[in-house]
Amino acid sequence: MTNELDPTDIEILKLLQQDATLTNKEISFKLHKSIATIHERIKRLKEQGYILRTVSILNRKKINKSLIAFSQVLLNDHAADTLAAFEREVSKFPEVMECFQMTGTFDFILRIATSDMDAYHDFYRNKLATLPNITTVQSFFVLSETKSDTAYPL
């Protein structure tokens, strides 16, 4: 079986990125295909790793995660071991939802979710700033969410 996507696969992925509670039946109706075809396609898309996982997205304001920060971190040593150690340790903090190594004037960008500025301060002081080899941390805070999507353009 081929490992490339045809237009039906693309449409299925578009739909599931927006709403993964759609049943095979509903998708088959939208795409004018049989239920078995849709079932087979989705099974293959999961097996071949196109679909990584299916998750519920929560309303962060209702679960007391009102403050989102993006923190840019610069290290004072760029040996592979140092970078790997930072990645390993920072990933353990539950407040850190994302960690990317970046091009440019800093090394990493972190997305940090906390309840408020006090909680962020606590995280910064007692967790992030205790990691070795950090030169600077520059943080920016989300004032408002204009667009917040997990779907890639297809």
Partner DNA sequence: GTTGAAAGACCTAGTGA
Partner DNA sequence: TCACTAGGTCTTTCAAC
Rounded distance, CA 76 to CA 63, Å?
Answer: 36
What does 40 interact with, of a copy of itself, DNA, none (CB < 5 to 8 A by kind)?
DNA
Q: Are 46 and 9 in contact (CB under 8 A)?
A: no
Query: By CB under 7 A, is residue 41 in contact with DNA?
Result: yes
Q: Check residue 89 for interaction with DNA (CB under 7 A).
A: no
Closest alpha carbon to 67 in 121, 141, 145, 147: 141
CA-to-CA dists, residue 112 to 33, 115, 135, 150, angstroms: 42, 10, 19, 17
Counting contacts by CB under 8 A, is residue 104 touching a copy of itself? yes
Determine if 2 is a binding residue for DNA (CB under 7 A).
yes
What amino acid occupies position 75?
A: L
Restricted to residues 61-90, the positions that interact with a copy of itself (CB under 8 A) are 62-63, 65, 68, 70, 87, 90
Q: List interacting residues with a copy of itself (CB under 8 A).
A: 5, 13, 16-21, 48-60, 62-63, 65, 68, 70, 87, 90-91, 94-104, 106, 108-109, 113, 140-154
